[in-house]
Chain A
Amino acid sequence: MNTVNDHNILSRPNVIWIIVAAVTMVILFVINLYAPMSVAIGSVYCVVILYSWFMPWKHLEIYVASVCSVLAITAFVFTEEAPQTLLSGINVLMGLIAFWVSTSLVTIAKRGYRALDYEKLFHEQQLKIHTLELNEKRSTHDFRQNIMEKGNSRFQALLESAPDSMVIVTDQGKIQFINAQAETIFGYSREELIGRGINLLFPDGFSDFRSVISTEYGGHTNLNNRSVMEYEGLRKNGQVFPTELSLCPLITEEDILYSLAIRNISERKEAETNYHRISERLSIATNAGKIGIWEYNFESKSIYWDAITYQHFGLVEGQGDDLDTYCKSVVHPEDLFHVFREMKLAIKEARDARFEVRLILPDQPIRFLMITGIFERNGTNRAVRMTGTCLDITELKIAQMGLQRREESFMGAFANSAIGMALVDLNGQFMKVNNSMCESLGYTSAELIGLTFQEITYPDDLNKDLKLLDETLRNQRDSYQIDKRYFHKNGNVVAVILTVTAVKDIYGELSHFISQIIDITPRIEADKKMVLLVEVTKGQNESLMNFAHIVSHNLRSHTTNLSMLTNFLQKEEDVAEREHITNMLLNASESLSETVQHLNDVVQVKFNILEEQKSVNLLLTMNMVERNINAFLNENKVEYRMDIPESHHVSVVPAYLDSILLNLYTNAIKYKSPYRDLILDICSQESNEEIILKFRDNGQGIDLNRHRGSIFGMYKTFHKQEHAKGIGLYITKNQIEAMQGSIDVISEVNVGSTFILKFKNSNHPNNIIHEPKDSHQLYHR
């Protein structure tokens, strides 16, 4: 069977070519009639041509034609019948051309056959067989056998060239034929398999071939009844591989054969397995991550949700008929608007959509979903479908909101704290400051942010702060607290308690500092005031004690005198002496009443009488006092120079100021030098919160080395003056101190004294006396 010729003379195209070849031969023959010398050669050639149609040796004609040509050329060369020889040469040439054309055409025809549809061919073949069967009467058995064999060989050629592995089995399952592809995939040779059971190749699928057939066809074998099945194939080497086979009955007149087209589907199976694995993995991942997957088709307006998406939207899978409407009912109306806008934008800008929505589900806390979508576009770049994910971010959102709330409350506390707070970077520059901080330091927030704390720290306090800061930078401490001072913008010193806390970022690296300052300047001022107050009180207490002793001393001395004199008077009988004693008694009682008067004056000087103080023009008061004692001054030939600016106003109790000035004048006159006329030099000058009044005389002066401590004491007298009572300066001092002023003296014996008085300057803003009308309004609101 292997030697069977490829050429099938029964095929229609071949008949045509045989006719063409025969005509060619006749023509050649006619030509050769005129050239007897070449007849033999042409005849041989024609025979060869004809023979070549039926002979399997493909190239024999070439050899024969070559020999003929050589003979013809030899005849041409060695005979002298040149014209005839030439003719026979042309004849040979034409023969060669005819041969070449016909063989070429046959070859093309053969190729055309191969390109034909096998199945169609197969059916044609079958049809032919049927036709032959129908024409049985005309056929003999031999003829049929011949036809069958010829058909088989065509059929086998088809099977060989089929892309799939083909096996033909009998209805008993015996292998009748296999093609080369089947040999390859099963690893057996043809010889090994022919006559063996198909169960050898498919031990599971075809363990009982007959039963398979009866299941598949149930006795109704039909040409068009093909069945496709998947069985595992077994290789010779024992390897198992998945196959897809297509079983088809072949009906012959003797029996029914079955063709099996087998395809190795390992790759497809593997791809399927991979696909399953991937989708399984995806499903595990989406389940674990609670990632819902959804799809929306813009054309059909259909929505697909997976189980998780349903769950996220508060439904059970498959629940809800109209998901679109459902969505619109549960999504927060505000978000719905954003969703539409985002979708529109995403479509317009050809990007992925991403939005967050809030779901309001009945009887459930609000739910946050993060939804992303990717558009699929068609050829015209129109969005046809959108696929995306859906993630429940409620917990994240709640955490975020909590964080935000904490941050807001921190910022609120920061902004409104009564404590000065600042965020300071690692170089000491202010990054953010609150109002209290600005207020304490006198800068605006914008001014402070450009500064470093080093720039506004009081130089003496900088090092201790830097030392602690350095320790914090080196992670040796997390915070520190110190007392320190800053410079206020106006140059004043601000005392604070500073607390610095280091803030670390998520990597544990130092990020910045939080500084908190408690302004203790007012406290320190208050402390100072208190110390002053304590001193004043102590002084007052002391002076009160002195006063008490003075009082007791004076009263005692007078009363003892009185009692003594009374005693003498009782015993005395001498009239003159009695009168003397009576006079003394009178003096003593006068002194007593005078002393009581003095005490009264002293007691009237009250301390801390701020509310009674008024702003008084110093010059006017001076002039008034002067007018009152004008006669006295003239009598004593007092010359005076006055330099008091009209603008000088002092905060005083007017009666005290009168009394003080009067006392200064009378003292100056009382203790003027007996050797020269009195010259007074009175001037005032303004010094910040104070008005300083200088009252200079050229009188006797006081020996301050001896009397410095007691000059303003009670009943201290320094001159041999009869009317020196030692009470004037004591009262003056008390009065001036009651008005928060002071008095001092510089003096030289026989040269003169200068009293230096300091009063509160009522023009200075710190000393402005407020009318208490605001406090009245408080009661009438």
Chain B
Amino acid sequence: MNRKIPTSCIIDNDPIFIYGTRRMMKESFLCETILEYHNGQEAIDDLIRRQDNGEEMPSVIFLDLDMPIMNGWDFLDQFMKYEQLMRLNIFIYITSSSIDPRELEKVNSYKAVSKYILKPVTPQDLELILEALNMV
């Protein structure tokens, strides 16, 4: 199994979560670049810029829902509007502390979302993600 992921992306306003996830990813597989955004707006703007510039695009996005400026849901809405981004078949994992069933329900209505991961992200979660990526 290929344990290498060229580029991944974390969108979260919680620095501790980002630190923890980075550290866990480091232990599980090799990831050359980890893009880091603190809200949806920041993320969508930069992703579009990277796409336009022909830069390396992430194959996995960890997306928090509760963020200022633009939350996870709005990011998803924006993301799905861009045909070029959608064509990339990026795996989007929602990472949230919320156990609100309404949010879990809502997740199912987004095709672009691969899975809902209840924080914290565990090594087992990363293992599953890796398997999914390898299957493509």
Contacts and interface: CB of A to CB of B under 8 A. Distances in A.
A564 interface: yes
Nearest to A710: B71
Contact of B96 (A553, A563, A565, A715): A553
A488 B15 CA distance: 66
Contact of A718 (B14, B68, B99, B100): B68
Given A719-B69, A720-B69, A726-B68, A565 B20 contact: yes
Contacts of B16: 561, 564-565, 584, 587-588
A561 B13 CA distance: 13
Given A561-B20, A568-B20, A584-B19, A552 B99 contact: yes
Contacts of A281: none
A561 B98 CA distance: 14
A588 B17 CA distance: 10
Contacts of A718: 68-69
Interface string A523-561: 000000000000000000000000001001110110011
A557 B23 contact: no
B120 interface: yes
A556 B99 CA distance: 9
Given A706-B74, A719-B69, A726-B68, A561 B96 contact: no
A557 B14 contact: yes
Interface string B33-76: 00000010000000000000000000000000010110000100
A399 to B, nearest CB: 78
A717 interface: yes
A252 to B, nearest CB: 157
Given A584-B15, A718-B69, A553 B20 contact: no
Interface in B93-113: 96-100
B4 interface: no
Nearest to B119: A560
A715 B96 CA distance: 15
A564 B68 contact: no
B17 A557 contact: yes
Contacts, number: 57
A449 interface: no
A554 B68 contact: no
Interface in A558-604: 560-561, 563-565, 568, 584, 587-588
A584 B23 CA distance: 14
Main secondary structure of the interface of A (DSSP, over half): helix
Contacts of A561: 14, 16-17, 20, 120
A180 interface: no
B23 A556 contact: no
A560 B121 CA distance: 10
A704 to B, nearest CB: 14
Contact of A557 (B15, B68, B69, B97): B97
Of the candidates A557, A565, A584, A588, the one having the most CB atoms from chain B within 10 angstroms of its own CB is A557
B120 A564 contact: yes
A557 B119 contact: yes
Contacts of B97: 552-554, 556-557, 560
Interface in A140-187: none
Nearest to B118: A556
Interface in B1-35: 14-17, 19-20, 23
A560 B19 CA distance: 13
Size class of the contact patch on chain B: 10 to 19
Given A557-B17, A568-B23, A717 B96 contact: no
A564 B69 contact: no
Contact of B68 (A552, A560, A706, A719): A719
B37 to A, nearest CB: 12
Contact of B100 (A549, A563, A568): A549
B33 to A, nearest CB: 21
B73 to A, nearest CB: 11
Contacts of A568: 20, 23
Contacts of B14: 557, 561
B8 to A, nearest CB: 18
Nearest to A548: B100
A588 B19 CA distance: 12
A339 interface: no
Given A561-B16, A718-B68, A718-B69, A553 B23 contact: no
A720 B69 CA distance: 7
A637 to B, nearest CB: 26
A560 B16 CA distance: 10
Contacts of B15: 584, 587
Contacts of A584: 15-16, 19
A724 to B, nearest CB: 6
Contacts of A565: 16, 20
Contacts of B100: 549, 552-553
A717 B23 contact: no
A715 B19 CA distance: 22
Nearest to A546: B100
Contacts of A717: 68-69
Nearest to B101: A549
B121 to A, nearest CB: 9
B133 to A, nearest CB: 23
A720 B120 contact: no
Contacts of B119: 556-557, 560
Contacts of B96: 553
B117 to A, nearest CB: 12
B36 to A, nearest CB: 15
Nearest to B20: A564
A552 B120 contact: no
B19 A724 contact: no
A560 B120 contact: yes
Contacts of A549: 98-100
A123 to B, nearest CB: 151
A726 B100 CA distance: 19
A357 B69 CA distance: 102
Contacts of B39: 720
A610 B60 CA distance: 54
A199 B135 CA distance: 166
Contacts of A564: 16, 20, 120
Interface string B112-127: 0000000110000000
A720 B68 contact: yes
B71 to A, nearest CB: 9
16 contacts: A549-B100, A552-B99, A553-B66, A553-B97, A553-B100, A554-B97, A556-B97, A556-B98, A560-B119, A563-B120, A565-B20, A568-B23, A715-B66, A717-B69, A724-B68, A726-B68
Interface of A: 549, 552-554, 556-557, 560-561, 563-565, 568, 584, 587-588, 706, 715, 717-720, 724, 726
Given A549-B98, A564-B16, A584-B19, 19 more contacts: A553-B66, A553-B96, A553-B97, A553-B99, A553-B100, A554-B97, A556-B98, A560-B119, A561-B17, A565-B20, A588-B16, A706-B74, A715-B66, A717-B69, A718-B68, A719-B68, A719-B69, A720-B69, A724-B68
The 6 closest A-B pairs by CB, nearest first: A717-B68, A557-B97, A556-B97, A549-B100, A561-B16, A560-B120
